[in-house]
Amino acid sequence: MKYKLLGKSGLKVSELCLGTMGFGTEGGWGADKETSFSILNSFADAGGNFIDTANIYKLGTSEKIIGEFFTGNDRDYFVLATKYSLMNNKTNPNASGNNRKNMMRSVEESLKRLQTDFIDILYLHIWDDLTPVDEVLRGMDDLIQQGKILYAAISDTPAWVIAKGNTMAELMGWNQFVALQIEYSLLQRTPERDLIPMAKHFGMTVTPWAPLAGGALTGKYLRGEKGRIKEDSNRLNENSQLITKEVIAIAKKLGAEPSQVALKWTMQQPLSVIPIVGATKQEQLMENLKVIDLEIPAEDMKHLDEVSAVDLGFPGKFFKEEAVKTNAYGGFYDKVEKRNKA
């Protein structure tokens, strides 16, 4: 396992992040404590140290299982990310949302469930379109000053909000968001319109959730297998099936599994990307871990890029027009070094 720096920080995290949304059996699915412990141990044995959870996952059971695991292992080895924002009851209007009150309450409860004194990375989980971004950043900065969290991060939020927040944080001397968690995969490339360029500009690490599109990119639905994706999902539409078939073909050519090709595609993007690999079974984790030894050739990356491309809309598509590049660069487009290269 190799390690990357998280965003502009000096924090070293493994090139794969272990997703633990399925730790717990609430809702009729997931891994029990024994299986979860086995997955965590295997991930650590492979050199993995980056773990992702949230206060809401399995109604808090995911954090509880990780907390029990920490009591018998080296807590400092692991880089733990959790999240706040989503409700855990419907009787308190401030038991959800991005506000400071919910942030502080959620963090205190997460610390108890995790049986730890600090959280390495705290994500805002989903933007509520109510709370000022400066309230969020100042709250996270206070938690950092208290030593209860070490780094601030954000998930599922519009690019303009994050850009405003990081710019404000830089001017005010607050800690900036170092990581961005979003849905990103070969079947979901719309973040390339705004979120990905924004993350690249600010030097943020992108941690994609659903990098396998809920299992669609493994090809199991094409084989007639069942899963949690609904039949009318865009992940199973005609275009998605076409992309999945191309992933399967390249996997066969490389002697790999489709899931490994789909994961590696995210990892070979021209910015720092660490996919979140969820696992509720030992064999799922072991298959995903093999991606660290895979390299997708340039020609196959190009093919995957082309077959899964999305319309960037305005102004992204406009900027790529030859006439625009000629006028904006005076004929020197290919001769000028670009900022924020990979």
pLDDT in tens, 170-210: 999 999 999 999 999 999 999 999 999 999 999 999 999 99
The burial of 216, by beta-carbon neighbours within 10 Å (0-12 exposed, 13-18 middle, 19 or more buried), is given as buried
Q: Which amino acid makes up residue 134?
A: D
Sort strands 177-181 and 205-206 into parallel, antiparallel or unpaired. parallel
**Residue 88: per-residue pLDDT:** 85
> Active-site residue among 3, 57, 77, 184?
57
What confidence score (pLDDT) does residue 322 get? 95
Q: Cα–Cα distance between 320 and 115 in angstroms, integer?
A: 51
Q: Packing angle between helix 298-307 and helix 238-254, nearest 10 degrees?
A: 170
- Catalytic annotation present for 57: yes
Instruction: State which residues of the chain have pLDDT below 70.
Output: 340-342
pLDDT at 338: 79
Q: What are the angstrom distances between the C-alpha of 16 and each of 44, 47, 49, 107, 316? A: 11, 10, 9, 25, 29
- Per the CB < 8 A criterion, the answer to whether 241 and 222 are in contact is yes
| Beta strand residue intervals within 27-143, DSSP E | 50-52, 79-84, 119-124
The structural domains of the chain, with segments of one domain joined by +, span: 3-309, 311-342
Give the right CATH number for 3-309 from 3.20.20.100, 3.30.70.20, 3.40.30.10, 3.40.710.10.
Answer: 3.20.20.100
